[in-house]
A and B are shown apart, each in its own frame.
Chain A
Amino acid sequence: MADTEDNSPEPPGGNGWRREYWKKNLRLMVVLLAVWFAVSFGAGVLFVEQLNQIAIAGFPLGFWFAQQGSIYVFLLLILVYCLYMDRLDKEFGVYEYDEPTGGTAEKGGES
Chain B
Amino acid sequence: MSDIQIWTTIFIVVTFGIYMTIAWRSRVKETEGFYVAGHGVPTIANGAAIGADWMSAASFISMAGLIAFLGYDGSVYLMGWTGGFVLLALLIAPYLRKWGKYTVPEFVGDRYSELVRTISAVAAVIVSFTYVVGQMNGGGIVFSRFLNIDIAYGVMIAAVVIFVYAVLGGMKSITYTQVAQYTVLIIAYLIPAVAVAQTMTGLPIPQVSFGQILDELNVLSTELGMQVFTDPFTSRPMVDIFLVTMALMIGTAGLPHVIIRFYTTKTVRGSRYSAFWALFFIALLYTTAPAVGAFTKLNLLQGVNGTATDNLPAWVNNWAQTGLVSVNQNADVVNSVSNDPAAGADLTVNNDILVLASPEIAGLPAPIIGLVAAGGMAAAMSTAAGLLLVISSSVSHDIYFRYVRQTAGDQERLLVGRIAMAAAILVAVIAGINPPAFVAQVVAFAFGMAAASFFPAIVLGIFWKRCNAIGAAAGMIVGLSFTIVYMLYTLEVFGLAAHDYILGVSPEGIGAVGALVNAVVAVVVSLMTPPPARHVSEMVESIRYPAPRRVPSGD
Residues of A within 8 A of B (CB): 1-3, 5, 8-9, 11, 14, 16-18, 20-22, 25, 29, 32-33, 36, 40-41, 44-46, 48-49, 52, 56-60, 62-64, 66-68, 70-72, 74-75, 77-79, 81-82, 85-86, 89, 92-96, 98, 102-104, 106-111
**Interface range for B:** 35 or more
Q: Report whether A1 and B550 are in contact in the complex, using a CB–CB cutoff of 8 Å.
A: no
Task: Chain B residues near A29: list those with CB within 8 A.
Answer: 90-91
Which chain B residue shows the least CB distance to A4? B463
The reply on B29 being an interface residue by CB < 8 A is: no
| Interface-located stretch among B96-104, B175-183, B390-398, B494-502 | B96-104
Contact A96 B89 (CB under 8 A): no
- How distant is A47 from chain B, measured CB to nearest CB, in Å? 10
Inter-subunit contact A44/B79 (CB<8 Å): yes
> B24 in the interface, Cβ–Cβ < 8 Å?
no
Query: Contact at B459–A74, with CB atoms within 8 Å?
Result: no
Nearest first, the 7 closest Cβ-Cβ pairs linking A and B are A108-B100, A58-B211, A66-B75, A111-B539, A93-B551, A59-B211, A67-B290
Question: Are B552 and A57 interface neighbours, CB within 8 A?
Answer: no
Asked if B269 and A86 sit within 8 Å, CB to CB, the answer is yes
Please measure, in the bound complex, the distance between the C-alpha atom of A58 and the C-alpha atom of B276, giving whole angstroms: 30
Expressed in whole angstroms, the Cα–Cα distance for A75 and B541 within the complex equals 28
Taken together as a complex, chains A and B put the C-alpha atoms of A57 and B205 apart, in Å, by 13
14 A-B pairs whose Cβ atoms sit less than 8 Å apart in the complex:
A40-B83, A40-B249, A48-B72, A52-B230, A63-B214, A68-B290, A72-B287, A85-B94, A85-B272, A93-B553, A94-B546, A98-B266, A104-B550, A108-B39
Q: Which residues of chain A are near B242, meaning CB under 8 Å?
A: 41, 45-46
| B555-A16 in contact (CB<8A) | yes
A95 to B242 Cα, complex, angstroms: 38
A32 to chain B: closest residue by CB: B90
What per-residue 1/0 map shows which CB atoms of B68-95 lie under 8 Å from chain A? 0000101100110011011101110010
Given pairs A29-B90, A94-B545, 7 additional interface contacts (CB within 8 A): A66-B232, A75-B279, A77-B86, A85-B94, A96-B269, A111-B110, A111-B535
Interface centre among A1, A52, A71 (most CB of B within 10 A): A71
Residue interface mask B524-555, A partner, CB < 8 A = 1:
00000000000101110111111111111101
Specify which of B98, B232, B273, B535 is in contact with A62 (CB 8 Å cutoff).
Answer: B232
For A14, the chain B residues whose CB sits under 8 A away are 552, 555
Q: Cα distance A75–B98 when bound, in Å?
A: 23
Q: Do residues A109 and B555 form an inter-chain contact, with CB atoms below 8 A? A: no
B181 → chain A, closest Cβ, in Å? 22
A90 to chain B: closest CB distance in Å?
A: 9
Q: Enumerate chain B residues within 8 angstroms of A71, measured Cβ to Cβ.
A: 78-79, 82, 283, 286-287
Give, as a whole number of angstroms, the nearest-CB distance from A56 to chain B.
Answer: 8
